[in-house]
Structure 1
Amino acid sequence: MKSIKIPYHKTYKEVQISEKDIAGILESEVNQYRTDLNEIQLINRALDNPISSSKLEDLVKGKESILIITSDHTRPVPSRLTMPLLLERIRKGNPSIDIKILIATGYHRESTREELIDKFGQQIVDREKIYMHRSRDKESLINIGTLPSGGELWVNKMVKESDLVIAEGFIEPHFFAGFSGGRKSILPGVAGAETVLANHCSEFIDSPYARTGILEKNPIHKDMQYAATKANLAFILNVVLNEDKKVINAFAGHMEDAHKRGCEFLMDIASVKKVEADIVITGNGGYPLDQNVYQSVKGMTAGEAVCKKGGVIIMISACNDGHGGKSFYENLAKASGPDEVLEKVLKIPRDKTIPDQWEFQILARILKHHNVIMVTDMCDPQMIEDMHMKCVKDINQALKIAKDIVGDDSKIVVIPDGVSVIVR
């Protein structure tokens, strides 16, 4: 028997599988990547050697104000490390500059004070000017153009009111934008709700190029890149993390060039060879990425990439914060099944996208061809069942149900961290 740990909330769930049943264990090399530098040294190296850009200390000279855009509570950006370094360099270059920090909530709920303290530490929360982006508050937004998709580009007014705009974030495989990081700080990070909706339309989500690890010809990425350019995103600091959320590399500088370099690095170490099976066990990387069903769809797409049609995806995810979106939940729960959801969503025009449409579209796409069993002991099982998935508390119980569906002799693929791999 082989014992395999799957990240779950702030710990792990462990599964025992007979080695003869295992078709493959798909893991990126991210967790095996080693460097002689510690996290602070890696971040400082990136800031000392910005890609296609002057140093941050030089960019701030002569500026009266700077806006730092950072991720919200749903992203494991190590701001306790990165933010103090950014603030130090900014004030070194311009001690009197007015610094504002904007939380890029995108289409998510606002972060709580407790979540901000967990993210930054007490000192930064108490001393710095921190603002929450509200995508539905039209009074706080400004129109700065038209996206390639045709949607209006609304962003937080603070973006245009600041002399310099920079962003911190992290790069990971993303299930429809190709990769996270870089331009995503603007769209969806600090964009207006209708802009996010236009960018996440069913036509784009349905594109074969809107998939993990793909940027070229990706219509969603194209919109995001345009938005970041129009918003004058001048400088980024993006990190790459391992399963312990530790920094293994960092990239700073020009919004597009530094992000591209980071994506290339990640592609080299995160790509795994496709191995198909009737049963796939995967996870969503643990906390904070597995705190709701909405976010857990990301890890499911890794399972989707290797699971045979009619097979079973066993998703290990805490979902302690519930479904993660009212529209996401209701559009699945109120439908008879995934076919009804897909038939409806593919008829919705680009400019009529509804909240959470992209997420329930992708989950319906997965459910159309696969059975999904969620393993969690931290949320309401009925909520999961309402969304046309099974829910159990124990992995071994899930495995038994899966074998009842596809057969006792079925092969199993395990992807311990579904959000960290790029299946090729």
Structure 2
Amino acid sequence: MKVTLAYGRNGLSVNVPSYSTVIEPTHLEPIENDHEAVLRALRNPRGTKPLRELVKSSDRVVIVISDITRPTPNQKLVPWILEELTHVPLENVTIINGLGTHRDQTREELCEMLGETIVDTVRIINHHCQEKSELTHLGTSSFGCEVYLNKEYVEADFRIVTGFIEPHFFAGFSGGPKGIMPGIAGIETILTFHNAKMIGHPLATWGILDNNPLQEMTREINTFCKPDFLLNVALNGEKEITQVFAGELAEAHGIGCSFVKQHAMHKCDQRYDVVITTNAGYPLDQNLYQAVKGMDAARMIVRQGGTIICAAECSDGMPAHGNFIKILEMRESPKKILEMIEDPSFQMFDQWEAQRLAMIQEWADVYLYSTLPDESAQIAKITPTKDIEQTLSELKGKYGSEMSIAVLPLGPLTIPYVEE
């Protein structure tokens, strides 16, 4: 049967055996009139007063957004927030692009994310986690690090954070407090959040909030300078808004996580020999670093010693910025990379993604269909493939003619799991 995988902007069709199990999130129709739905949420928020009543006309307002590697529809959300804040002069508003450790966005990318009108009329800054002059020290975390957040965020009179909620492979769910931590945190704080012990914790995984150390830390860091208002959304496979969550950070995010868990988590009765996955297409599959999420979703249901085939366009490369490539080049095997990262003396930003990739590779073989040159895939200890159907045919020699196959066309937008 033919299956369309979310790949880049246009998708990728592949033929798989008819007995393959295709796993997708429960399809939800987009919410009726998303503009009105968002305005209703801003006017009837959870756990706090309506947004307009909370903000004075003299307030310096910051709106924290997620960067271009996330599909948050900020081209809609930000103008609609400003529609509620017409009493605030635009010169009093700053949008902070929550890059975490990622690269700056170009003007063209910001226009894609926010619309040209917003880019031309509202001040926008890219967060720089390593620039001490752009950070404020707020104290010491119980997790053993100093807490630094973006200075303009801390000094603002009113703080709004946006985002979208999906299962997350470290923190249980995205959105909510993650917009601030690691979105606009300092590098020292981010490194602790992503250290080997945290990433390797058995409860630091998809769909788990309680006793998940990363979720506990992001919540704690938010208490040092809490956002005054949250606006998060849920999205379907077409990246359309299916529900809106607004108000007090913890209450609104908790309701959102419960909603998403109902529709995005899928219980399976067995593990599979082969799992074909994606990273949900553009903008999520822009680079291999991000595509690790789709591989990790597949890891949830592939058997030990099985095979993961990931289709991710990687139009932005590995990427070239950051330390991901450097770390992958430092050792000759996933096992050696894990040993290096788990050494308490080792600390380098981006190690968390290399660690998770190595954990996946220690569990299963990984193939990659992408636009990356073969050498790039090989640096990552991944086997490149130019033909998924041919790779499936070759794998029959390993697993037999009736090898079990699962397909995740939307990658980490569906999180399958097996109760064991």
Q: Specify if TM > 0.5.
A: yes
Quote the Cα distance in structure 1 between the aligned partners of 2:31 and 2:216. 36
Q: Which residue is 1:3 aligned to?
A: 2
Quote the Cα distance in structure 1 between the aligned partners of 2:385 and 2:90. 56
Letter paired with 1:423 = P
Q: Which residue is 2:101 aligned to?
A: 107
Q: Which residue is 2:85 aligned to?
A: 90
Q: Which residue is 1:421 aligned to?
A: 414
| Pairwise CA distance, 1:413 | 0.7
Quote the Cα distance in structure 2 between the aligned partners of 1:230 and 1:267. 28
Q: Is this contact kept in 2: 1:151–1:199, CA < 8 A?
A: no
Greater alpha carbon shift after TM alignment, 212-221 vs 330-339: 330-339
| Pairwise CA distance, 1:406 | 3.1
Q: Is this contact kept in 1: 2:311–2:369, CA < 8 A?
A: yes
Q: Which residue is 2:330 aligned to?
A: 334
**Which string of whole-angstrom CA distances, capped at 9 and with x for unpartnered residues, describes residues 375-409 of structure 1?**
11x22221001211111222212323433443333
Quote the Cα distance in structure 2 between the aligned partners of 1:35 and 1:318. 26
Greater alpha carbon shift after TM alignment, 123-132 vs 405-414: 405-414
User: Percent same amino acid among aligned pairs?
Assistant: 37
Quote the Cα distance in structure 2 between the aligned partners of 1:6 and 1:142. 43
Quote the Cα distance in structure 2 between the aligned partners of 1:96 and 1:320. 35
Q: Which residue is 1:203 aligned to?
A: 197
Q: Is this contact kept in 2: 1:375–1:398, CA < 8 A?
A: no
**1:309 is the counterpart of 2:331:** no
1:52 to 44, 47, 54: 47
Q: Is this contact kept in 1: 2:337–2:355, CA < 8 A?
A: yes
Q: Is this contact kept in 2: 1:102–1:133, CA < 8 A?
A: yes
Q: Which residue is 1:279 aligned to?
A: 274
- CA separation of 1:314/1:36 partners in 2, compared to 1, >3 Å: closer, same or farther? closer
**1:408 is the counterpart of 2:404:** no
Instruction: Tell me the SS of whatever aligns to 1:250.
Output: strand
Q: Is this contact kept in 2: 1:66–1:97, CA < 8 A?
A: no
1:69 to 52, 58, 64: 64
| Pairwise CA distance, 1:96 | 7.6
Residues 180-329 of structure 1: pairs in structure 2 closer than 5 A: 180-274=174-268, 275-324=270-319, 325-329=321-325
| Pairwise CA distance, 1:41 | 2.5
Q: TM-score, normalised by structure 2?
A: 0.95
Q: TM-score, normalised by structure 1?
A: 0.94
Instruction: Tell me the SS of whatever aligns to 1:294.
Output: helix
Instruction: Tell me the SS of whatever aligns to 1:91.
Output: coil
Q: Is this contact kept in 2: 1:148–1:222, CA < 8 A?
A: no
Quote the Cα distance in structure 2 between the aligned partners of 1:416 and 1:96. 41
Q: Which runs of 5+ in 2 are unaligned?
A: none
Instruction: Tell me the SS of whatever aligns to 1:260.
Output: helix
Letter paired with 2:286 = Q
Instruction: Tell me the SS of whatever aligns to 2:6.
Output: strand
2:25 to 24, 28, 47: 28
| Pairwise CA distance, 1:62 | 6.0
| Pairwise CA distance, 1:98 | 1.1
Quote the Cα distance in structure 1 between the aligned partners of 2:75 and 2:322. 31
2:382 to 385, 389, 409: 389
| Pairwise CA distance, 1:232 | 2.2
| Pairwise CA distance, 1:95 | 4.8
**Which string of whole-angstrom CA distances, capped at 9 and with x for unpartnered residues, describes residues 6-31 of structure 1?**
100001111112223x2x221111xx
Quote the Cα distance in structure 2 between the aligned partners of 1:25 and 1:194. 41
**Which string of whole-angstrom CA distances, capped at 9 and with x for unpartnered residues, describes residues 162-200 of structure 1?**
011111111111100111101011111110111100111
Quote the Cα distance in structure 1 between the aligned partners of 2:8 and 2:90. 41
Letter paired with 2:10 = T
| Pairwise CA distance, 1:420 | 0.8
Quote the Cα distance in structure 1 between the aligned partners of 2:168 and 2:135. 26
Letter paired with 1:339 = K
| Pairwise CA distance, 1:326 | 4.3
Letter paired with 1:78 = P
Quote the Cα distance in structure 2 between the aligned partners of 1:37 and 1:379. 39
Q: Is this contact kept in 2: 1:333–1:388, CA < 8 A?
A: no
| Pairwise CA distance, 1:35 | 5.7
Instruction: Tell me the SS of whatever aligns to 1:273.
Output: strand
**1:346 is the counterpart of 2:353:** no
Q: Which runs of 5+ in 1 are unaligned?
A: none
Q: Is this contact kept in 1: 2:31–2:242, CA < 8 A?
A: no
Greater alpha carbon shift after TM alignment, 102-111 vs 339-348: 339-348
1:157 to 151, 170, 195: 151
Greater alpha carbon shift after TM alignment, 133-142 vs 321-330: 321-330
